[in-house]
Amino acid sequence: MTPNITSGDQCIGTSRSVHTTDFIGMIDEVGIWNRALTSLEIAVLYNNGHGLTVNNTAVSSPFIITSPQNQTVNAGSSVTFNVIATGGALNYQWQFKGQNIPGANNATHALNAVAATNSGIYSVVIWNAYGSANASARLTISSPLTLTQTNRVPVTETNPSSSFPATIVCTT
């Protein structure tokens, strides 16, 4: 039997011009888009096994594209953690040492004037109706090196290489 295919019909496993090849196999989770999908969207659909769309956005459990990075900064500096995820209708919650940080509920978490007490693991939990994902990064705070000279003995121009007892104390 030759199917009667018109110009508006969709064909799977054959072309409109040649109808001699039948499709043999199974089709599972069919999704139809009105545009070509990006490689990222294809990866998300493959990794999550969904063929669903809402407003041309792939809907799936969150998939982290870029995790926050470990950072080492000096005390008093500012630091920003970023996460990039896809999955549609995402919710974010940043945590410090496993505890939720109030108000830290988007893809970016910034800290100003960090101190040694800010050192530790920062995590982000991302979720939607289809599942969740998480990632973490370590923040290390370095204190600037402080040099203290005791026994101040001036060096004179007439004898710049003279030796003298001095103690230098380094603290961090």
Tell me the whole-structure pTM to 2 decimals: 0.56
Residue 35 binned pLDDT confidence (cut-offs 50, 70, 90): confident
What are the residue ranges of CATH 2.60.40.10 in the chain? 64-142
pLDDT band at 162 (very low <50, low <70, confident <90, very high): low
**What is the Cα gyration radius of the chain?**
30
pLDDT in tens, 73-127: 999 999 999 999 988 789 999 999 999 999 999 999 999 999 999 999 999 999 9
Q: For the chain, what percent of residues have pLDDT higher than 90?
A: 40
What letter would DSSP give residue 20? -
Take residue 148 and report the two structure tokens written for it.
């203290």
Which band of pLDDT confidence, cut at 50, 70 and 90, is reported for residue 54? very low
List the alpha helices (DSSP H) in 27-164: 39-48
| Residue-level pLDDT at 36 | 78
What is the pLDDT confidence band of residue 16, given thresholds at 50, 70 and 90?
low
- Which of 129, 123, 119 lies closest to 88, judged by CA? 129
Instruction: Pick the closest to residue 107 from 87, 88, 124 (CA basis).
Output: 124
Higher-pLDDT residue of 124 and 172 is 124
Residue 169 scores a pLDDT above 60: no
* Annotation: CATH topology of 64-142: Immunoglobulin-like (2.60.40)
